[in-house]
Structure 1
Amino acid sequence: MNRKIIYRVLIVGLVVLGCTERFELKTETFEDRLVIEATITNEVMSQEIKISRTHVLESTEPNYEHGATVKIEDSNQNTYSFTDEGDGLYVSTIPFMAEAGVSYKLFVETLDGRKFESSQEQLVPLATIDNLYAELIDVDGVSGIQVLADTNENLGEAQFFRYEYEETYKIVAPFYTSYDALITNLVVSPSLSYDIELVPRPQEQKICYSTHNSEEILLDNVNGLAASALKKVPIRFIPIEDPILRDRYSILVKQYVQSANAYNFYKILRDLGSDGSIFLDNQPGFIQGNIVSSLYENDNAIGFFDVSSVSSKRIYFNYLDFGIDKPPYFYDCEVILWDYLNTGPEINERYYLYQNLTFDDYIYASVAGYEESVYGLTTPHCGNCTTFSSGKKPEFWED
C-alpha cells in the first residue's frame, strides 16, 4: 500500500462507526491524534502499516510517527512484529498472511508511551476479479478510456469492496538521440572559438516508465442488491488526450473484500470529501474507527485495522486499441536548428548554438536531411525522458 497519509486537522466531532447509521459532526479544537492505516491481507507478503500524527492546517508536511513499537497478535498465539522503515512506514519482520477463522489484533506503542489497540478482526470471504477491461466512453461530454472490473459469480457472503490501482505507463522521448553535443577547445577572448564533439550518452534516456498509485477512495457493494456479482465497476477514467495513453499503459487493480464496519469507515471518509489522500488533508470531522487507546478513554487513534481478502489483475493497452488519435506528448516539443559555421552579420548562429548548449539548458537532437554543420537542439524533457521519469524498466512490464 503505497499511500500518502496526511491529516491536517481542524477538527472535529465524533463520528460513530456503524454500517448504515447516520452521523453528526460538531466542532471541537485541534487535538494531537495518531493516524493509523493498517490493512493485512490473505497474501503471503511483508505486511505494511503506516503511522503518522495529525497536524495543524498551517503545516504542509506530513507528521510521520517514528520509533513506535508495532505488532499484531492472532488467536493462535502468534505475534508478528513490525520494524520502522522511515516516513511512517512499518513493515513486518517476516512475511505472513491472514487466514480464515483466525482473529487478529493490532497493538501500537509510541515513543512517548501512548498505547493503542484495535478490536479483534477476522478475514472476510474471498472474491476475485474475473475480468478487467477498458472501454471507450463519454463521461459528462469528455471522451476517454474507462477501466472496468467484474467480480466472480456467486459472491456468497462477500458484500463490501474497496479498490486500489497502480498505473504504469511507457514514455518515449520524441527527440531522443544517443549522443550528447559537448563544447570543446573553447576560447572566449579575443573572439569566440570552439569545437563540438558528439559523445555517447552514458545511459538509455529514450524510453522511461512512470508509476502512480490511486489516491481516491473507490468503493462498491452488493448490499441490498439482487445480484450474485458486481459488473462494470468503474476504476479509472482516462481522457483520450492524456499523454499516458501515447505509448503503452498498464494498470494493476486490487480488489479488497471488507467487513461492513471497514467499508462504512472508508465510505464516511469518501463522503466527507477527499482531495486525493486515503486520509484527508483537510478533515472536517473525526471518524471513530476500531483503534482505541488502552490507557486513556479520550486518546483514540484515527484509522481502521482491516483484515481483507484481496484479488488483483493487470491489463495493458494504448490509444491504438481504441482507434483514437495519438495523444500529445507530456511537454510541448520543438527542435531549434543552428548552423555551426554561420557567423554572418544578420545572425551569428555559431554564437547562439554555444549559448544554448552552455547556458540555456538545451540538448542535442539529431535531425536528418541537413548539412553536418547544422545542429538540432531541444529541451531536456523532449530528448531525455529521465528528466521527469525513470529509465528503469519494471520487472513486470510486457511490450
Structure 2
Amino acid sequence: MNRINFSWLSLLLIATILIDSCVDPYRPPAVSAPNTYLVVDGFLNGSGTSSIRLTRTQNLTDGSKPTVETKATVMVEGEKGGSQTFVDKGDGTYTLAAGGLQFNQKYRLNIKTAAGRSYQSDYVTIKQTPKIDNVSWKAQDQGVQFYVTTRDPTNNTKYYRWEYEETWEFYSAFYSRVEYLNKQFVSRMDDVNHCWSNGKSTGIFIGSSEKLTQDVIDQFPLVFVSNTSSNRLKIRYSLLVKQYAQTAESFEYWQNLRKNTESLGSIFDPQPFQVIGNIHGVTDPNEPVVGYLSGYSVEEKRIFVNASELPPWRIPSMYEACLPDTAPIFRTPEKPSAADQAESGAIPIDEILSPMGQIIAYRMSSAYCVDCRTSGTNVKPTFW
C-alpha cells in the first residue's frame, strides 16, 4: 500500500477548507497535534517475501520524512498455531522469506515496539491472486489510456486492487563530451545524455466483479499518460502492472480510503470520515493505528509502447527552454570564465576551438539541460 503520513483521526480533517469569500480559512487543531501513531505498511505474501514497514505519523505541515520505527519485534501467527518472526532490516522494514505462509489459511500480525508497546492485527486469509489476462492501451486525443483485464475462472476473487510502476527513456538537451573534474576540463567517460526515469502509482485503483455473473474485470482504466505535459511517450515507455486479490473487508477499506483522499473538492462534496483498519493497539486499545493488513500473492505484467506505434504527436522533450552559453577560457570583464561557471554548477558540453585548433572557450549549460541524471538514471534497466 502507499505510504500514509497521517493518522486516521486526521482523516476527519484532511484538508484546510478555503472558501473564496470573506470567511476566514479553517485550520483544524489536528494539523498541529503532538501525537504520533504507528503506521503499518505492507502485506503478507503467499508466494514471495513479505515486507512490513513501520513508521510514525506526522503533522500535515511537517515537511520532513516520517520517523521510522526500528528495533521492533514483528511476528506472524497462524490461526491453526505456529508463528514466524520477521527479520529486522534496521531501517523500519521487516521481512519474512517466501514459503512460510499458506494460501487459504488465516494469519495475524503481532508487533512489539522497542518502547514495549504491543499491536495486533485481525486474522486475514491469504488469497491467491489470478493472473493478469492483458494490459492494453489506446491512443486518445491527449495521450494514451492504459487498461488491465483479468478474470478468475473459479469465481472466488471478485475484489481486485492494482498498482503500477512506469519507466521511460529520454535524452537531455545536449550531449556532453567534457566534464570539469578536480578543477580541470577533461574528456567525459560516462554518457549523461541518455537516461531512464521511473515513477510509481499514487492513486488507489480497485475494481470488483461482485455484481457480475462472471468474475471478470474487462479493460479497467488504470492510468492515463499525457502527450503534452511530459516526455514519457517521446521515445519508449514501459508500464508494469501489479495485481492483488482482495477480501470484501480490505476492498471496503481501500474504497473508503479512496473516497477520503481523492473525492474532496469543496464543502459541497462528500466529507471525509473515519477509515478504520484491522490493526489495533493491545497496550492501549484506544490508540489509533494506521494501516490495513492483507494477505495475497502478487501477479505482474509489463508492456512497452514505442513512439513509432503512436500517432504523429509533437511530444515535448521537456528541454525546450534549454540554451547553450559560451564561456571563455579566461575571465573577462563581461563574462566569468568557463572554470568559474563550472564551479558555480554549470556543466560543460564541448570545446570551442580557434582556427589554430586551440581551445578558447567551452559551450556550457545548466545541469538540468546537460546531465540527464538530474531527472533519472543513466543505468539501463535490466528489463529494457
Do Structure 1 and Structure 2 share a fold, with TM-score over 0.5?
Answer: yes
One-letter code aligned to 1:219: I
Kindly indicate whether residue 323 of structure 2 is the aligned counterpart of residue 334 of structure 1: yes
Tell me the residue number matched to 1:81. Answer: 85
Aligned pairs for 1:237-256 within 5 A: 237-241=224-228, 242-256=230-244
- Cα deviation, 1:137-160, whole Å, max 9, x if unaligned, reads 24xxxx111111111363511111
Tell me the residue number matched to 2:268. Answer: none
- Cα deviation, 1:261-302, whole Å, max 9, x if unaligned, reads 001011111001249xxxxxxx95442222122343323422
* Distance change in 2, residues 1:36/1:284 (3 Å): farther
* Contact residue 238 and residue 303 of structure 2 kept, 8 A: yes
Kindly indicate whether residue 52 of structure 2 is the aligned counterpart of residue 52 of structure 1: no
* Contact residue 69 and residue 109 of structure 1 kept, 8 A: yes
SS at match of 1:66: coil
When the two structures are superposed, what TM-score results if normalisation uses the length of structure 1?
0.77
Match of 2:255 among 258, 267, 278: 267
CA positional deviation for 1:125: 4.3
SS at match of 1:273: helix
* Contact residue 9 and residue 274 of structure 2 kept, 8 A: no
Kindly indicate whether residue 90 of structure 2 is the aligned counterpart of residue 101 of structure 1: no
Q: Distance in 2 between matches of 1:384 and 1:5?
A: 33
Q: Distance in 2 between matches of 1:213 and 1:67?
A: 28
One-letter code aligned to 1:394: P
CA positional deviation for 1:369: 11
Aligned pairs for 1:374-389 within 5 A: 375-389=362-376
* Distance change in 2, residues 1:182/1:74 (3 Å): closer
CA positional deviation for 1:324: 3.2
CA positional deviation for 1:220: 0.8
Q: Distance in 2 between matches of 1:235 and 1:12?
A: 25
* Distance change in 2, residues 1:60/1:274 (3 Å): farther
Q: Distance in 2 between matches of 1:115 and 1:211?
A: 37
CA positional deviation for 1:103: 1.6
Q: Distance in 2 between matches of 1:50 and 1:181?
A: 41
Kindly indicate whether residue 222 of structure 2 is the aligned counterpart of residue 232 of structure 1: no
* Distance change in 2, residues 1:301/1:354 (3 Å): closer
CA positional deviation for 1:135: 1.2
When the two structures are superposed, what TM-score results if normalisation uses the length of structure 2?
0.80
Count of matched residue positions in the alignment of Structure 1 and Structure 2 = 353
Q: Which runs of 5 or more structure 1 residues have no equivalent in the other structure?
A: 14-26, 185-196, 276-282
Tell me the residue number matched to 1:218. Answer: 205
Tell me the residue number matched to 2:22. Answer: none
* Contact residue 8 and residue 290 of structure 2 kept, 8 A: no
One-letter code aligned to 1:237: F
Q: Distance in 2 between matches of 1:69 and 1:298?
A: 21
Tell me the residue number matched to 1:65. Answer: 69
- Cα deviation, 1:74-105, whole Å, max 9, x if unaligned, reads 2454433223334532222x333642232211
Match of 1:354 among 323, 333, 338: 338
Tell me the residue number matched to 1:21. Answer: none
* Distance change in 2, residues 1:305/1:354 (3 Å): closer
Tell me the residue number matched to 1:305. Answer: 293
Kindly indicate whether residue 143 of structure 2 is the aligned counterpart of residue 156 of structure 1: no
% identical aligned pairs: 25
One-letter code aligned to 2:325: I
